[in-house]
Structure 1
Amino acid sequence: MALIEQRLAQLGLRLPAPIQPPPGVTLPFAFVQIQGTRVLFSGHGPLNDDGSVVGPLGKLGQDLSVEQGYAQAQRVALSVLGSLKRAIGDLDRIAAWTRVFGMVNCTPDFTAQPAVINGFSHLILELYGQERGMHTRSAVGMAALPFNIPVEIEGEVLLHG
């Protein structure tokens, strides 16, 4: 078993199946695109192990607490890792996490977006360490996100050359 997958198992975490969109919804885009050693991943939301969308759904500052948002951002990290594993075969091929763009479905007065997206960043840093896991990041508020998910994250990683 690869090192990153061993770390996930030690933490009691599992990678979810691909997203199962709601009936009638089509997603006509690639969740991962590989360009040489550059790998871009589309916006991912929090998923259950079977690929269904994780609840609770809704807005931070209204329906979810910062702690719930943090947990949802961790679930997004697992969703991203699942997509990356399916695309590149081995998560240990990732040489660096370069860019993360975190979006938080929130009320206009909610200002703790960074604390929510920390759920993603902390898990990536725990798995990959400072050298490979440290990334640039944005954490912004949005009026709405697809399927009323509370967190969506996109970004980029580099593969070993």
Structure 2
Amino acid sequence: MMAGTAALGLVGCTRQSPTYSGPQVTRIQVLKERREMQLLHHRTLLRSYSIDLGFAPVGHKVQEGDGRTPEGGYRIDRRNPNSSFHLSLGISYPDASDVAYARAKGVDPGGDIFIHGTPPIWERTPDWTWGCIAVTNNEMDEVYAMVETGTLIYIYA
């Protein structure tokens, strides 16, 4: 049914990078209100995950420390296999318009927004991040294997 799900092979018991050989993830969609992240190959849904967001998730991120998860179109711009949050994929926030808007308001737009795993201390706490998108560590293994640097990510209210 979901193409590529069976092709996901997690490697060993040690902390090695998982592998994926299914269809390329061409787009990530984050539906904040539904607390859902979808990985798509063009218009085909490959995987869907329940997510946690920033501690004040309603609205677009405006400044550092506001607890909001950004909204809009970005790219996955970096990978961190040594993240304090299991594994992480960087999101290209802030972009030029985010920076300009924050400057006009006289604030710092913040940054370091990621998709990442969840430390045990936060497993039962909803919307605990500082603006990131969190999934379980097992789910992050899958996401990290499936998503390449440069992948588009659209974050919707």
TM-score range, shorter chain: under 0.3
Provide TM-score, normalisation by structure 1.
Answer: 0.26
Q: Which has the higher strand share?
A: 2
Normalising by structure 2, report the TM-score.
0.27
